[in-house]
Amino acid sequence: MHDLSYGRSIESVTSVAAPLLAAGAVAVLGVVAADDDKFRWPGPSILLLAMAAIALVACVQFLTRFPVSHLRPCCN
Protein backbone atom coordinates (compact mmCIF):
# COMPACT_ATOMS: atom_id res chain seq x y z
CA MET A 1 0.00 0.00 0.00
CA HIS A 2 1.11 3.52 -0.70
CA ASP A 3 1.20 6.00 2.12
CA LEU A 4 -0.59 9.06 0.74
CA SER A 5 -0.12 11.07 3.93
CA TYR A 6 -3.73 12.14 4.22
CA GLY A 7 -3.09 13.10 7.82
CA ARG A 8 -0.45 15.64 6.89
CA SER A 9 -2.58 17.13 4.13
CA ILE A 10 -5.59 17.46 6.44
CA GLU A 11 -3.43 19.15 9.06
CA SER A 12 -2.06 21.52 6.45
CA VAL A 13 -5.51 22.49 5.21
CA THR A 14 -7.00 22.98 8.64
CA SER A 15 -4.04 24.68 10.28
CA VAL A 16 -2.81 26.93 7.45
CA ALA A 17 -5.32 27.36 4.65
CA ALA A 18 -8.57 27.52 6.61
CA PRO A 19 -7.57 30.41 8.93
CA LEU A 20 -6.21 32.44 6.02
CA LEU A 21 -9.33 31.89 3.94
CA ALA A 22 -11.55 32.70 6.94
CA ALA A 23 -9.67 35.97 7.45
CA GLY A 24 -10.13 36.80 3.77
CA ALA A 25 -13.84 36.04 3.97
CA VAL A 26 -14.24 38.30 7.00
CA ALA A 27 -12.30 41.09 5.27
CA VAL A 28 -14.46 40.89 2.15
CA LEU A 29 -17.54 40.70 4.37
CA GLY A 30 -16.52 44.03 5.90
CA VAL A 31 -16.07 45.58 2.46
CA VAL A 32 -19.49 44.42 1.29
CA ALA A 33 -21.14 45.60 4.51
CA ALA A 34 -19.49 49.03 4.31
CA ASP A 35 -20.33 49.68 0.64
CA ASP A 36 -23.54 47.73 0.21
CA ASP A 37 -24.95 50.28 -2.25
CA LYS A 38 -22.17 49.42 -4.74
CA PHE A 39 -23.04 45.70 -4.88
CA ARG A 40 -25.89 44.17 -6.83
CA TRP A 41 -26.90 41.66 -4.14
CA PRO A 42 -25.32 42.69 -0.82
CA GLY A 43 -27.63 40.60 1.35
CA PRO A 44 -26.92 37.22 -0.24
CA SER A 45 -23.23 38.12 -0.55
CA ILE A 46 -22.97 38.87 3.16
CA LEU A 47 -24.85 35.69 4.01
CA LEU A 48 -22.61 33.46 1.87
CA LEU A 49 -19.41 35.11 3.09
CA ALA A 50 -20.49 34.70 6.71
CA MET A 51 -21.37 31.05 6.12
CA ALA A 52 -17.99 30.45 4.46
CA ALA A 53 -16.11 32.09 7.36
CA ILE A 54 -18.07 30.05 9.91
CA ALA A 55 -17.40 26.82 8.01
CA LEU A 56 -13.67 27.54 7.83
CA VAL A 57 -13.45 28.37 11.53
CA ALA A 58 -15.41 25.19 12.29
CA CYS A 59 -12.85 23.26 10.24
CA VAL A 60 -10.04 24.55 12.44
CA GLN A 61 -12.02 23.80 15.61
CA PHE A 62 -12.77 20.28 14.42
CA LEU A 63 -9.06 19.57 14.00
CA THR A 64 -8.26 20.81 17.50
CA ARG A 65 -10.98 18.64 19.05
CA PHE A 66 -10.38 15.56 16.89
CA PRO A 67 -6.71 15.38 15.87
CA VAL A 68 -5.75 13.47 12.74
CA SER A 69 -3.84 10.94 14.83
CA HIS A 70 -7.19 9.58 16.05
CA LEU A 71 -8.43 8.90 12.52
CA ARG A 72 -8.06 5.41 11.09
CA PRO A 73 -7.82 4.52 7.42
CA CYS A 74 -11.05 3.27 5.90
CA CYS A 75 -9.48 0.20 4.32
CA ASN A 76 -6.35 -1.88 4.79
Q: Is the pLDDT of residue 33 over 70?
A: yes
CB contact at 8 A, 68 and 5: no
**Residues 40-49: pLDDT tens digits?**
999 999 999 9
Q: Is the pLDDT of residue 56 over 80?
A: yes
pLDDT given for residue 43 in this prediction: 93
**Residues 9-27: pLDDT tens digits?**
777 777 788 888 889 999 9
Q: Is the pLDDT of residue 64 over 90?
A: no
Indicate the pLDDT class of residue 75, thresholds 50, 70 and 90: low
